[in-house]
Amino acid sequence: MICHCLSKQIKSTMSIQLYDHNQKAYDAVVSMLAETNKVVVVHPTGTGKSFIVFKLCEENPSKKVLWLSPSEYIFKTQVENLKATGADVPQNIQYMTYARLMRMSESEMTEFHPDIVVLDEMHRAGSPRWGESVKSLLSLNPNALILGLSAIRYLDNQRDMAEEFFDGNVASEITLGDAIVRGILNPPKYVLSVFPIRKNKDELGISLRVRLGELLHNGREVLSAIWQSNVPVTYRTYDGLWLGRWVQRQRLKTTGMNGNQVMRLEQVGMVWEMQAI
């Protein structure tokens, strides 16, 4: 019944406009969701994958959408990109990070009742810590439609998450090379330079003993870039601070944090699982 409604509503007039490659992906998503309850889109970063989900939400305003993402920062950026086009943000979206879902009991998960579950950066759902909570959520909502988004389909270059979570139901897949050749993305320009990550610890508020409040006040963009990447545990700043160890400790002690601490770290882009490159 839900899938049938999705297919019929594709003809409606919408304020969210898609580029050709995303329109084709969207049409494939709607078509496949009429046959199965899970589908994934694999497009490179920067191609506008989130707009596919926003359009689906806009066309189905009566459907409750639970959108899972690695960090609040990512989702806020996607919302800002949508608003920049002049489109309204659909109001039927409930956003949550994988880390927050991991802290929920099954009884708490039963309160969601989503019609559609979005797994943004879906390959991250295969991690040991996040994966179990995602599986629990999906098992508690067997009738929900599942839409995955990711720039890559493999976790640690080994596990095909499109197969594990979506049974190989790939609505659209574009490689980075294809996106450049087709003019969807501009070819990269390589610039080599050597520079210190910061001038002094007071300027960006990064210190092994720095308070969380100072972290939120200073160095937001730098911190976001740092802990969304694979910063080695042994990494030291040029003036000797063990920044890699500090970031690692925040990830290791996540289970001991309260909800407010988790939220405040996510506001500066904290990603709780190390990303394979």
Instruction: Give residue-wise pLDDT tens across range 164-182.
Output: 889 999 999 999 999 999 9
CA-derived radius of gyration, the chain: 20
Rounded Cα distance between 21 and 111, Å, is 36
Task: State residue 62's pLDDT score.
Answer: 95
Instruction: Read off the pTM.
Output: 0.67
Task: State residue 231's pLDDT score.
Answer: 60
85-97 pLDDT, tens digit per residue, is: 999 999 999 999 9
Range of the domain at 218: 201-267
Task: State residue 158's pLDDT score.
Answer: 79
Q: What share of the chain is helix, strand, coil (3-state, %, to 5)?
A: 45, 10, 40
Residues 225 and 153 in one domain: no
Kindly report the number of other CB atoms within 10 A of residue 198's CB atom: 19
**pLDDT confidence tier of residue 241, bands split at 50, 70 and 90:** low
Residues 176 and 100 in one domain: yes
Residues 169 and 217 in one domain: no
pLDDT over 90 (residue 209): no
**pLDDT confidence tier of residue 240, bands split at 50, 70 and 90:** low
Last residue of a domain, one of 120, 149, 181: 181
Task: State residue 155's pLDDT score.
Answer: 79
Mean pLDDT of the chain: 79
12-53 pLDDT, tens digit per residue, is: 444 899 999 999 999 999 999 999 999 999 999 999 999 999
pLDDT over 50 (residue 214): no
Residues 134 and 220 in one domain: no
Residues 152 and 209 in one domain: no
